[in-house]
Amino acid sequence: MRDPDGLIARAGVRGDPDRDQHFLVDDRVLDRLPTYLTDCDPEKTTGTEADTTPTETTTAPETETAPDTETAPDTIDTSHLLEIGGGTGALTDRLLELGTETDRVTVVERDSELASFLRTEFSDEIDAGRLTVIEGDALEVDLPEFTASVSNLPYGVSSEITFRLLPEGRPLVLMFQQEFAERMVAEPGTSEYGRLSVSTQHYADAELVESIPKEAFSPPPAVQSAVVRLCPREPDYEVADEDFFLRFVKALFTQRRKTIRNAIRNTAHISGLDAPEAVVDAADEDLLQKRADAMAPAEFAALAELASDVGAPEGGDE
């Protein structure tokens, strides 16, 4: 296992906070990060059509069509791990150790000096086909088909990167600023609950698994960090138009202190609703009296479906 301080010394760099460079130097934290993947349910994390639930409820023949458990994986697929923001490679090294000799890691690093160092430091792994270094901006480069990601994200773009990864339906273990992590995992009725919570939990079960002190990084960031595990699954509600649902939630949370009735009326320019008044007329009175921060994701989904039916949403301005 490579020593994180040794990697920084060999790279001859100092992390630049202005470029989101805070390198992990605590071995115990580095060791723990990949292990958090294992608590996701592998059956739900295929990243493709995971839904094997029978849709016929009454006409299923009484033959040997038992639920297909034979093909269900019993461990998380780590055959191709993605790391966003490789830095000097301390986490990359752990991810390479996690897999077997046929497993692969792809690391994306924007800083050309660091990308070049990674290519030199890990030349054996690259030659063996076990590591690919993509030099570029994680928001712009083509990402490979990965099976899971473990990343200490650049905080300046952590939200954008996360919402690039979440729709892929893969298990993610990601490092964020503590306050951001708390908002991702927040429950309705708490002050942290908001658009970020609903959008995150639309894609995955989100759990804050560990807070990380500043001293675990070099240089230390200004605030404490936290690790969030995101286990993908289908939400327990249905939305026909995902873009509209997310836009509607965004709109209603811009007025979080107003009732849902007024929020629907005041935010049509964001949600794209043509007929907000028709939605207010059709919605349940109890719901209309709530505020956005008391609404469970399933309640937003039901309201979004109603709004789609009667409010004639247009394509919005994401």
Q: In this structure, are residues 130 and 105 in contact, taking their beta carbons and an 8 Å threshold?
A: yes
How many CA atoms lie within 13 Å of 86's alpha carbon, on the beta-carbon side?
34
For residues 308 and 318, what is the distance between their CA atoms, to the nearest angstrom?
A: 17
In the complex with ligand SAM, the residue whose CB is nearer, 18 or 101, is: 18
Min dist. Cβ of residue 108 to ligand SAM (A): 5
Per-residue x/- marks for ligand SAM, 249-288, CB under 6 A?
----------------------------------------
Q: Is 24 in the site for ligand SAM (CB under 6 A)?
A: yes
Bridge partners for 11 per DSSP: none
Q: Which of 37, 46, 95, 154 binds ligand SAM (CB under 6 A)?
A: 154
Taking each helix axis from N to C terminus, what angle separates 195-203 and 297-310, rounded to the nearest 10 degrees? 90
* Closest to 232 in 3D by CA, of 279, 170, 294, 304: 170
For residues 314 and 244, what is the distance between their CA atoms, to the nearest angstrom?
A: 9
Q: Is 137 in the site for ligand SAM (CB under 6 A)?
A: yes
Q: Is 2 in the site for ligand SAM (CB under 6 A)?
A: no
Q: Is 225 in the site for ligand SAM (CB under 6 A)?
A: no
Q: Which of 152, 197, 199, 271 binds ligand SAM (CB under 6 A)?
A: 152
Q: Is 19 in the site for ligand SAM (CB under 6 A)?
A: yes
Q: Which of 80, 94, 104, 110 binds ligand SAM (CB under 6 A)?
A: 110
Q: Which of 87, 171, 311, 316 binds ligand SAM (CB under 6 A)?
A: 87
Q: Is 138 in the site for ligand SAM (CB under 6 A)?
A: yes
Q: Is 85 in the site for ligand SAM (CB under 6 A)?
A: yes
For residue 224, give both structure tokens: 């404490």
What's the residue count for the chain? 318
For residues 242 and 100, what is the distance between their CA atoms, to the nearest angstrom?
A: 37
Q: Is 117 in the site for ligand SAM (CB under 6 A)?
A: no
Q: Is 111 in the site for ligand SAM (CB under 6 A)?
A: yes
In the complex with ligand SAM, the residue whose CB is nearer, 138 or 204, is: 138
Q: Which string of b and e fits 246-282 if b means at least 16 CB within 10 Å?
A: bbbbbbbbebeebebbebbbbbbebbbbeebebbbee
Q: Is 238 in the site for ligand SAM (CB under 6 A)?
A: no
In the complex with ligand SAM, the residue whose CB is nearer, 111 or 305, is: 111
Known binding residues for S-adenosyl-L-methionine are 22, 24, 85, 109, 137, 152
Interface ranges with ligand SAM (CB under 6 A): 19-24, 84-87, 90-91, 108-111, 114, 137-139, 152, 154, 157
Known binding residues are 22, 24, 85, 109, 137, 152
